[in-house]
Chain A
Amino acid sequence: MESKINRYSKQLILINSFFILAWLIVSVFPFIWTFWGSFKVKADFFSRADWMFAVTGVNTLIETGDTSTVKAYVESWTEGEFWKATMNTIIITVSVVTISLFLGTLGAYALSRSTYKYTFWILIAALIFRAMPHITLVSGYLFPFFQLNVWGILPTTIIVLVAINQPFTLWLLYSFFKTVPKELDESALIDGCSYFQAFRFVIMPVMWPGVVTAGLFSMMLAYNDFTVTSLLLNQQNYTMVPKINAYLGTIEHSGNYMWAVSSVVSATAPLFMIIMFFQRQLISGLTAGAVKG
């Protein structure tokens, strides 16, 4: 695509490569460091004597007999009940993605095909809802949830996360459905389909690229959430992120700081894998609203 006269000079390429490399180190190194350190003991990862201990694992060798150990992983997964948090995260993430895509596709399809003025106001309302800080919503939930006795359980959190997720999903799928030609479902309507049949047999087969993108964002929201899960779930039902925070805070676990470090790695690794596969969809979703303007 670049024309020949627009070649880069050698210096520019050199400076550029240095800059990119430096920036990559800034953004990636902390994760590599944490990954490496999670196989050490606390005395090495937080070493007063010499930071090199974290690389060589001197104290790890003394304490466990090897330069790296999976002790923190084993303990946090079994004793720390991280497996339970993982299960909860999986349940919440899968349910939130499924339900919010189901509601979102129906709603966004209707919004994109209706020509009445109220669609505009609904979309504006969704935008306002999207901007609400989650913690302000949580402060509104707690009291009614206590009164209704539904606080602390997974289903409540799932519904709340689905609702919080709806505005963004609606906007994303709305702009996606706008790119699907109207003629497609209109011809189906002329052939005698109902709106629902047109949606089911004409739109559904072609909507998957948009749905994957929307699903990816729903997944990230549910998987990464801290505000809602930490305040709406009770200790037994904690998902991964509040669980990690709990490892840090309580006195009970103060000796097991490394649990938090290893759990961070356990929680981040699957997320990175998924993003590696769906990078393209993630970027297209992030730019959906921005580039047109």
Chain B
Amino acid sequence: MPHRTFFWFFFPSGLAMLLFIGLPIISSFFQSLHIEPEQILMEVEKCDPFGCKTETKVDIEATTKLQEEQPLGRFNGLGTYGDRNHLAFDEIKEAWTNSSSIAEFTDILLNLPFYKALLFTLTFCFAVTPPVVVLGFIVALSVNTITKSLKGPTIFGVILPMIVTPLIGSLVLFWMIDAKGILGSFIQFLFDDPNLSLKSSSQLTWITLIIYGIWHNTPFAFVVFYAALQTVPQDPIEAAIIDGASRYERVRHIVIPHLYPVATFIILICLMDNFRVLEPIIGFAAEGVAQSLSWMIYNDLRSENKMLFGSAGATSMLTIIGVAILLTPVLIRTWREFRTER
């Protein structure tokens, strides 16, 4: 296809991506270099019969004027990246010199907002992915053996948790797990503790979120594994049967090696998707104990009186760096695939 024709075919799609994916990333970076203008204070002398006092007051007029002049705020360089809510260099340095043990230092470190969120995000990613792969594989094997006429409805049932948006999915589970819901009261009955609630401690909330993550992501792993199972060559399996291999041995030595590449694909997609976890935290109302990087950005943009563009931009940039690290293996894989295709 000549360049000219290609250009006109691709132009609309490319323009949309450039304007609304490429540009926002740059704009986000630009925002992260600025900080909201400080309020201009002025001293007012107030006199009453008992004497005069000077008071500091916000000069509203000057502040609005400054805001109009510099809507993005003043230039702050990389300052926002180093402040307390992000990489917190000063706080870490201070904690390092002041704390007596590594445990104390880690404790201080993990109570800083950014590191706290990073810890949750990574825990969520790495706790959800392995069970998802294993369960997805088992469910796929299992569905593969049932009667053909039942397969359609079964698959439909299994993929439901994936279809609904995470917010709705987490709400549906949350209402059951709530202390007054069916699962919540069942758990209380099980442990014989009428005050037990999954919201009562941060560990329990984290576990609930992780269980939700597994529930939501397993269908994806299932679908991919199930499709891959259809491509497993039959000849080696029959040969193995003739040689007297048990069913377990056949799965272990023929099916699983065949599915390795698919499994890596699932793991990478799963890690990448869970790195942006946001909606479950809102659905489970777990903001108090579990914050993710995405939630930090969401929170900055949601604040009632003033949106913290600078702070949100900085967290966005740091999140993108995280995604880039996770994305590298995927890119290498795609690159190899492309090279072999040509």
Binding site for B on A (CB under 8 A): 1, 3, 5-6, 8, 12-13, 16-17, 19-20, 23-24, 26-28, 30-31, 33-34, 37, 45-48, 51, 54, 102-104, 106-107, 109-111, 113-116, 120, 122-129, 131-144, 147, 159-160, 162-164, 166-167, 170, 195, 199, 220, 223-227, 231, 241, 244-245, 248, 260-261, 264, 267-268, 271-272, 275-276, 279, 282-283, 286-287, 289-293
Complex Cα distance, B234 from A164, in Å, reads: 41
The reply to whether the CB of B122 lies closer than 8 angstroms to some CB of chain A is no
Please tell me if the beta carbons of A113 and B1 are within 8 angstroms of each other in the complex.
yes
Rounded to whole angstroms, the CA-CA distance of A13 and B144 in the bound complex is 12
Q: B163–A271 contact, CB under 8 A?
A: yes
Q: Is B142 part of the binding interface, using a Cβ–Cβ cutoff of 8 Å?
A: yes
Closest 9 pairs between A and B when the two form their complex, measured CB to CB: A140-B24, A163-B20, A107-B13, A110-B9, A224-B165, A140-B28, A133-B276, A136-B316, A287-B227
Instruction: Give bound CA distance, A167 to B22, whole Å.
Output: 12
Distance in Å: Cβ of B217 to nearest Cβ of chain A: 12
User: Distance (Å) between the CB of A169 and the closest chain B CB?
Assistant: 8
CB of B319 within 8 A of CB of A136, answer: yes
**Is A143 touching B17 in the complex (CB atoms < 8 A)?**
no
In whole angstroms, how far apart are the Cα atoms of A45 and B319 in the complex? 39
Pair A139/B276 contact, Cβ less than 8 Å: no
Give the residues in chain B near A27, CB-CB below 8 Å.
Answer: 157-158, 160-161, 215, 219
Evaluate contact between A26 and B6: CB separation under 8 angstroms: no
Does B301 lie within 8 Å of A290, measured CB to CB? no
State which residues 295-342 of B face A: CB under 8 Å: 297-298, 300-302, 307, 309, 312-313, 315-317, 319-320, 323, 326-327, 330-331, 333-335, 337-338
Query: What B residues does A264 contact at CB under 8 A?
Result: 168, 171-172
Checking A113, A116, A170, A195 against B13 with a beta-carbon cut-off of 8 angstroms, the contacting residue is: A170
Contacts of A268 in B (CB 8 A): 164, 168
In the bound complex, residues from chain A placing their C-beta under 8 Å from that of B276 are 133-135
Chain A residues with Cβ below 8 Å from B265 are 289-290, 293
What residue in chain A is nearest B222 (Cβ atoms)? A23
* A220 x B160 contact (CB < 8 A): no
Known A140-B313, A287-B224, A291-B262; contact A261-B28, beta-carbon cutoff 8 A: no
Q: CA–CA, A48 to B179, complex, Å?
A: 8
Given contacts A140-B23, A160-B20, contact A283 B309 (CB under 8 A): no
Q: Given known contacts A27-B160, A132-B25, A132-B320, is B224 in contact with A6 (CB within 8 Å)?
A: no
Residues of chain A within 8 A (CB-CB) of B13 are 103-104, 106-107, 166, 170
Pair B157/A28 contact, Cβ less than 8 Å: yes
Residues of B within 8 A of A199 (CB): 9
From the candidates A31, A47, A132, A141, name the one contacting B180 in the complex (CB within 8 A): A47
Q: Assuming A30-B176, A115-B1, A162-B16, is B320 touching A293 (CB within 8 A)?
A: no
Q: Using a CB-CB cutoff of 8 Å, which residues 1-31 of chain B contact chain A?
A: 1, 3, 5-6, 9-10, 12-14, 16-17, 19-28, 31
Check A166/B17 contact, CB under 8 A, given A127-B330, A283-B227: yes
**A163→B17 contact, CB < 8 A:** yes
Contact: A33 with B176, CB < 8 Å? Answer: yes
Is B178 within 8 A of A225, CB to CB?
no
B223 an interface residue at 8 Å Cβ cutoff? yes
Question: How many Å lie between the Cα of A287 and that of B269 in the bound state?
Answer: 12
Set of chain B residues within 8 Å of A126, measured between Cβ atoms: 17
Could you say which residues of chain A place their CB within 8 Å of the CB of B173? 30
- Which of B19, B172, B297 gathers the greatest number of chain A CB atoms within 10 Å? B172
Chain B residues with CB under 8 A of A170: 13
Set of chain A residues within 8 Å of B157, measured between Cβ atoms? 24, 27-28
Q: Mark B263-307, 1 if CB is under 8 A from A, else 0.
A: 001100000100110110010010000000010011011100001
Given contacts A122-B10, A140-B25, 10 further A-B contacts (CB under 8 A): A12-B247, A123-B338, A144-B27, A164-B20, A167-B17, A167-B21, A170-B13, A231-B301, A275-B159, A287-B223
Q: Select which of B155, B175, B279, B338 is within 8 A of A120 by beta carbon.
A: B338
The reply to whether the CB of B201 lies closer than 8 angstroms to some CB of chain A is no
Segment of B79-87, B109-117, B181-189 engaged in the interface with chain A: B181-189
- Complex: A170 Cα to B192 Cα, angstroms: 54
Interchain CB contact under 8 A, B163 and A48: no
- What's the nearest-Cβ distance from chain A to residue B271, in Å? 11
In angstroms, Cα B113 to Cα A192, docked, is 64
Q: Does B257 contact A (CB under 8 A)?
A: no
Q: How far is the CA of A248 from the CA of B181 in the complex (A)?
A: 16
Cβ–Cβ contact A139 & B309, under 8 A: yes
CA distance in complex: A131, B275 (Å) = 10
Residue contact B238 to A3, C-beta cutoff 8 Å? yes
